[in-house]
Chains A and B, each alone.
Chain A
Amino acid sequence: MSKIWSCIILISIVIAFLTGIPEVITSSVISESKTAVENIINLIGMMCFWSGIFKIFENTSLLDKLSKRINKIVLKFFDKKELTQEAQKNMALNITSNILGIGNAATVNGIKAIEAMASVNKSSKPSNNMTKFVLINTASLQLIPTTMIALRSLYGSTNPTNILVPVWIVTIVALTVGLISISILNKVIK
């Protein structure tokens, strides 16, 4: 990230001098910083609101109940012999939190799940279960992309929620491609 960021800025400055508009850099730094502040201010309210709502959710029994159901489906993708009870429980909580969009809970449970998987993994390389689990986490399972919907309506969209179905299609395509790729790569890269 450090290299990419530096490159973008350095290239911009060089281009500005080559095309004889160095003043654009100075004025852009001022105007773009202002844009960043405006954008973040737009984000604050709804970010806090959703964090608040999801905090209530995390503390109810709904999360546990849902994750038990999801567990049955999810386990089909994994090699059950290598999964401890601890790993299974946290995996289900992680995937449920991902589906519901509770990012913080998903991260915590995801870390617990992979630690449990690592503790029974004898190799220094990740097991097939671990690569598959991480891959599922790199897909956006979130059923309702609340942040995007809120941002869309904030910027004046006439129909902020019309992205739902396309988002689901994209998620399914990405997850399918990802799972097929990881199954093949698990055999190729040992």
Chain B
Amino acid sequence: MLNYLAISVIPIMIFIIIIVGLNEKKDVYALFIEGAMDGLKIVYKIFPYVLGITVAIGLLKNTNGLNIILSPIIPILNKLGVPMDIIPLMAFRPLSGAASTSLVMDIFKNSGPDSISGKMASIIMGGTETTLYTITILFAAAKTKTLRGTLIAGLLADIAAIITAIILVNIGII
């Protein structure tokens, strides 16, 4: 039941948006094209970031650097049910949206989206935001001098989200 709801959500959403648009006599197609153009600009803008992070993380992986750096904590993480390829994502998620997107695509490509790490990556990405970026732009707009507790609270929330995602996959909820 829940699963049927989940697979129906996207088609229904597209359906409603177009119906309401037509009903309100909007130029639906022109709006779609305008929005798609914005999307293209976003992809254009994030490519250099994706390139930078993909190459950097790739170098660390291919030279075995990731294993060497993490070697003291690998046994602990394995016991806790955290796959290796999730670790860079955990570190980058609050820092950069483009970087974490490229890490997720890497995990999907290498292990598949339905693998343990693929599922964890999907849930972590879907359930968290780029905390640092959000804080930066909003406080920049407010022109305040300090952040008070926001960064700490935001990161605590991210840690809670990541731990929950790992637990949910390990207990086999999906």
Residues in A lying within 8 Å of B, measured CB to CB: 1, 4-5, 8-9, 11-13, 15-16, 19, 21, 24-25, 27-29, 31-33, 35-40, 42-44, 47-57, 59-62, 104, 107, 110-111, 114-115, 117-118, 121, 124-126, 130-131, 133-135, 137-140, 142, 144-149, 151-152, 155-171, 173-175, 177-178, 181-182, 184-186, 188-190
CB-contact partner of A44 in B17, B43, B134, under 8 A: B43
Residues B164 and A178 in contact, CB atoms below 8 Å apart: no
Can you list, as one digit per residue, whether each of B28-42 has a CB less than 8 Å from chain A (1) or not (0)?
Answer: 100111111111101
Question: Is A181 a contact partner of B138 (Cβ separation < 8 A)?
Answer: no
Closest to B119 in A: A163
- B59:A28 contact, CB within 8 angstroms: yes
Q: Bound complex: CA of A13 vs CA of B17, how far in Å? A: 51
**Secondary structure call for the B interface:** helix
Secondary structure of the A contact surface, majority rule: helix
Contacting pair B141 A11 (CB below 8 A): no
B101 touches A159 (CB 8 A): no
Measured between beta carbons, the chain B residues less than 8 angstroms from A60 are 17, 20-21, 24, 26
> Contact partner of B6 among A32, A118, A165, CB < 8 A?
A165
Contact, CB under 8 Å: A43 / B101: yes
Q: B65 to nearest A CB, angstroms? A: 5
Give per-residue flags for B1-39: 1 if the beta carbon is below 8 A from chain A beta carbons, else 0.
011001101100110111011001010100111111111
CA distance A2 to B10 in the complex (A): 38
- Across the A-B interface, the 10 shortest Cβ-Cβ residue pairs: A185-B149, A55-B35, A51-B39, A170-B127, A32-B58, A178-B157, A145-B126, A48-B39, A12-B59, A181-B153
The answer to whether B139 touches A126, judged by C-beta atoms less than 8 angstroms apart, is: yes
Could you tell me if A146 and B10 are in contact, using CB atoms closer than 8 angstroms? yes
A178 to chain B, nearest CB (A): 3
Residues of B within 8 A of A115 (CB): 141-142
Question: How many A-B residue contacts, CB cutoff 8 Å?
Answer: 339
- A161→B2 CA distance, assembly (Å): 10
Distance, CA A161 to CA B143, complexed state (A):
40
Pick 19 A–B contacts, CB within 8 A, sort by A: A11-B69, A31-B58, A36-B50, A39-B50, A42-B105, A47-B39, A47-B43, A48-B43, A53-B35, A62-B16, A117-B142, A134-B138, A142-B126, A161-B10, A166-B169, A170-B127, A173-B160, A177-B156, A181-B156
Known contacts: A39-B106, A44-B40, A117-B142. The answer to whether A56 contacts B125 by CB under 8 A is no
A145 touching B141, Cβ below 8 Å? no
Which residue from chain A places its CB closest to the CB of B169 in the assembled complex? Answer: A166
Residue B83 lies at the interface, judged by CB distance under 8 Å to chain A: no
List B102-136 residues whose CB lies under 8 Å from chain A.
102, 104-106, 108-109, 112-114, 118-119, 122-129, 131, 134-135
Q: Quick one: which of B53, B96, B113, B127 contacts A174, CB cutoff 8 A?
A: B127
A55-B38 in contact (CB<8A): yes
Establish whether residues A114 and B142, one from each chain, have CB atoms under 8 Å apart when the complex forms: yes
Q: Is the CB of A39 within 8 A of B54?
A: yes
Q: Is B73 an interface residue (CB 8 A)?
A: no
Check A177/B138 contact, CB under 8 A, given A148-B126, A159-B114.
no
